[in-house]
Amino acid sequence: MKWEEVPAADGHEPPKQLNHPVQREDSPGRSFVRRFKKHKLAVAGLVVLLLLTLCAIFAPWLTPYEPSTITDSFGAPPSKEHWMGTDQVGRDQLTRLLYAARVSLSVGIGAIAIASALGTVLGLVSGYVGGWIDGLIMRITDMFMSFPNIMLILVVASIVGPGLTNMILILGFLGWPAVARLVRGNVLSLKETDYVKASVVLGFRTPRILFLHILPNTVAPILIYATSGIAGAILDEAALSFLGLGVQPPTPSWGNMLSSAQSLSVLTSQPWLWIPPGVLIIICVLSINFVGDALRDALDPKNNK
């Protein structure tokens, strides 16, 4: 039996099916990756950070020396045995650079983790509860932010003492005010939204509202700030170690490796002692800042292009 197409009752032909493909909307993850890839410098910076992290993790397998091993070459220039030369004590510079990356990355990530945790909790409580609690937290925040940051860090470091753990704690506990103000500003706007008001009407407890309904919508600003905070913590650690208040030898860090450049003879005749750590600090900080700029644009809900 042959089937025939019956015309419509009103004499018009039935609508024909269009064969055009329907364009599907990108998922949030794909949209984020697509917008992030538009920043070529950020992609290059991310690759550099991954390489630095891998070199820091696998440092014992990338070099035959230990960072405190003293060889018979004192202040030797780069050679086949020591690709980046040795310092005045005879320690391999490449080995110390790789192990110093562990220190700098640990200080940056550890300090900003402490600062973000403290600032997020205080900012959530301050913005949501309000009243005298908000006033007290904000006045303490203003007091911390009224002092020059590097001067406050220097004073506390001179009192507490040098060391890797002390550097992480100092930079972490002194870095929370900026995060608290950022989170508080977001909470003040979010708590007026309909879904937060509905949560209050439904009788949800305050911790649930703060950490399950408000906090997820403030993660993006915190993440963007954290990238710049990591770069700042690395610079602060390098400055403190250069001044002798940070990580102490023989533990290598990029900052205390630069301290050898205080003499004019090293600056002029032994550039391999200070140029590599200085270049690594610049590259690391620039890479983190590039990634932070790309995250800011990729996480912006208004940027849908």
Q: For position 11, what pLDDT does the model report?
A: 53
Q: At what angle do helices 164-173 and 149-160 cross, to 10 degrees?
A: 140
Q: For position 301, what pLDDT does the model report?
A: 61
Q: For position 46, what pLDDT does the model report?
A: 93
d(CA 33, CA 37): 6
Identify the CA nearest to 183 among candidates 210, 155, 153, 150.
210
Q: For position 19, what pLDDT does the model report?
A: 53
Q: Which CATH architecture has domain 31-63+93-298?
A: Orthogonal Bundle (1.10)
At 7-26, the pLDDT tens digits run 555 555 555 554 555 445 56
Q: What are the structural domain ranges in the chain?
A: 31-63+93-298
Phi, psi dihedral angles at 60 (to 5 degrees): -60, -25
Tracing tokens 């018009």 back to the chain, one arrives at: 12
Q: For position 280, what pLDDT does the model report?
A: 93
Phi, psi dihedral angles at 92 (to 5 degrees): -65, 125
Q: For position 1, what pLDDT does the model report?
A: 47
Residue ranges for the chain with pLDDT beneath 50: 1-2, 4, 6, 18, 22-23
Identify the CA nearest to 274 among candidates 66, 102, 96, 103.
96
At 193-243, the pLDDT tens digits run 888 888 888 888 888 888 888 888 888 889 888 988 999 999 998 988 888
Q: For position 97, what pLDDT does the model report?
A: 92
Q: For position 26, what pLDDT does the model report?
A: 60
Q: For position 295, what pLDDT does the model report?
A: 87
